[in-house]
Amino acid sequence: MAAKPIYRVVVHQQGEVWDLYVREIFQSELWGFIEVEEFVFDDASRVVVDPGAEKLQRTFDGVKRSYLPLNAIVRIDEVEREGPLKVVKSDTRVAEFPRPFPLPPRGEG
């Protein structure tokens, strides 16, 4: 039986771009979200310490499932094996996907 695939999910989050690795990804029942499960982290016994990777491990420690908004996802790739978790500051401006705006209330009468 083949091993479960691994997906790299690149997400824009509050001025940073995160590279996450997960084993399960699917469309959520919550409109406008993608569900990701089974986060894959590097071996903790490695010598090089990356503060960005540690930040992501702390952020997702104990998280069973995460719901990511569609407009925050930059790309999703199926990869052969996990890579290093990355947090990169984003200097570019990411525009929110256009959405309908609420109509003003109707006047009475």
Assigned token pair, 14: 């509050």
Question: What pLDDT was estimated at residue 35?
Answer: 93
Dump pLDDT digits (tens) for 40-68. Answer: 876 655 555 666 667 767 777 787 888 99
Return the closest-CA partner of residue 64 out of 33, 39, 31, 29: 39
Ranges of the chain with pLDDT below 50: none
Q: Are 97 and 70 in contact (CB under 8 A)?
A: yes
Residues recorded for the chain: 109
Structure confidence at residue 67 (pLDDT): 92
